[in-house]
A and B are shown apart, each in its own frame.
Chain A
Amino acid sequence: MITAERKPMEEILEYVRPCQRILLVGCNECVTVCAAGGRKEVGLLSSALQMAAMKEGRTLEVKEITLERQCDPEYVEELASQVGDAEAIVSMACGCGVQELARRYKSMRVYPAVNTKFMGASERQGVWAERCQGCGDCLLGITGGVCPIARCSKQLMNGPCGGSTKGKCEISQDVDCAWQLIWDRLKALGVEDRYEENIPAKDWRTGRGGGPRKIIREDLAQ
């Protein structure tokens, strides 16, 4: 999922301070799962913003809506009848959702209420960790299902480096050495010989090195 965290309240308050009516829009997908911008978080932020306004002697009307997905125009269209007299839209979705709202509702000011962090997985309740950087050329098939791009601090193609100690990365005792994980996994699978094969230098053009990316499926595109 795409993970996110709520922005500091002061930043959000700064955005909405000139407004009397806002539309606060959550997303039912990734940000719901990582507890950053789903229906519950929309309710909490709405309450906090209204209280902050009341404390300053102002009134703030907040209309709360949580869309199925903010990154799809079909769902974003549902807001058309809700925008009404709102002076701004505050989005609790990832950056994709915020941009989709801004693209569709061109005359509206659209503000983000969360900071989009990374593509990650849930390690346990309330803890999410980075797992993928969308490099565009997945290596997981040859690295035992552990990504050296997202999980090695140096993104080494052939690790580990000298900073690996007792399975941990030198940057922190809380960070596993990705190459230790890869080795452990290859060994468990009985394919240690794969470790001896050098992985060639990565062609970063499939990633962000090639500029903004797009996928066009000829059979689906209209």
Chain B
Amino acid sequence: MENFEPIIVAFCCHYCAYTAADMAGSKRLSYPPNVKIIKAPCSGKIDAIHIMQALQKGADGVYVAGCLEGDCHFKSGNTRAAQRVSYIKKLLEEIGIEGERVEMFTMSAGMGERFAEVATEFTEKIRKMGPNPIKRAAKAAC
């Protein structure tokens, strides 16, 4: 547990969070290497199954980062993504996995600092929570 390095999957919208990550890099802001970014054309493109499969395949935490409210390039992709994230949280709770392992964040393309802050805080939160329970069970069985 002391050496636990969480695997975080971040689904980032091309129009905001992905560019914000780029901005964070340009500004030489550091954020944990645990965060694996997957670029999406819009946060609304991220389906519930993508989040579930990320967790099933070993991610300890997953977040979707989309545009600020009202700023979605495709009008409502970010609100749909938020609805899906909230649905997945409930589904995870139903199977005994903490819903907090999945989150939705919003930011604009210029918010490099926010991207780094979100990545750091989420990674730390998951680090405190410990490994994904499905991995803990597999490890215990070995």
Q: Hey, which bits of chain A sit against chain B, CB under 8 A? A: 8-10, 13, 40, 43-44, 47-48, 50-52, 54-57
Q: Does B91 lie within 8 Å of A55, measured CB to CB? A: no
Chain A residues near B52 (CB-CB < 8 A): 44, 47-48, 51
The count of A-to-B residue pairs whose CB atoms sit within 8 angstroms is: 46
What chain B residues lie within 8 Å of A52 (beta carbons)? 95-96
Chain B 23-65 per-residue mask, 1 if CB under 8 angstroms from chain A, else 0: 0000000000000000000000001110011011000000000
Give the residues in chain A near B91, CB-CB below 8 Å: 9, 44, 48
Enumerate 29 A-B pairs (CB-CB under 8 Å) in ascending A order.
A8-B94, A9-B91, A9-B95, A10-B94, A13-B95, A40-B47, A40-B48, A40-B49, A44-B91, A47-B49, A47-B52, A47-B53, A48-B94, A48-B95, A51-B52, A51-B56, A51-B134, A52-B95, A52-B96, A54-B56, A54-B137, A55-B96, A55-B97, A55-B133, A55-B134, A55-B137, A56-B137, A57-B138, A57-B140
Minimum CB–CB distance for B102 against chain A, Å: 12
CA distance A52 to B132 in the complex (A): 12
Give the complex CA separation of A29 and B128 in angstroms: 44
Nearest Cβ in chain A — how far from B70, in angstroms?
19
Q: Across the two chains, which residue of chain B brings its CB closest to A39?
A: B49
> How far apart sit A9 and B52, CA to CA, in the bound complex (Å)?
15
> Is B1 located at the chain interface by the 8 A CB criterion?
no
Majority SS at the chain A contact face: helix
Say whether B137 contacts A9, CB under 8 Å: no
- For the complex with contacts A9-B91, A9-B95, A48-B91, 13 further pairs of A-B residues with Cβ separation under 8 Å are A9-B94, A44-B49, A44-B52, A44-B91, A47-B49, A47-B53, A47-B56, A50-B56, A51-B56, A54-B56, A54-B138, A55-B134, A57-B138
Nearest B residue to A125, CB-CB: B80
Q: Name A47's closest neighbour in chain B (CB-CB).
A: B52
A55 engages B94 (CB within 8 Å) = no
Residues of A within 8 A of B137 (CB): 54-57
State which residues 109-142 of B face A: CB under 8 Å. Answer: 133-134, 137-138, 140-141
Residues of A within 8 A of B47 (CB): 40
Chain B residues within 8 Å of A43, by CB: 49
Residues of chain B within 8 A (CB-CB) of A10 are 94
Q: Which residue of A lies closest to B49 (CB)?
A: A43
Please give, as numbers and ranges, the residues of chain A lying within 8 Å of B141 by CB-CB distance.
57
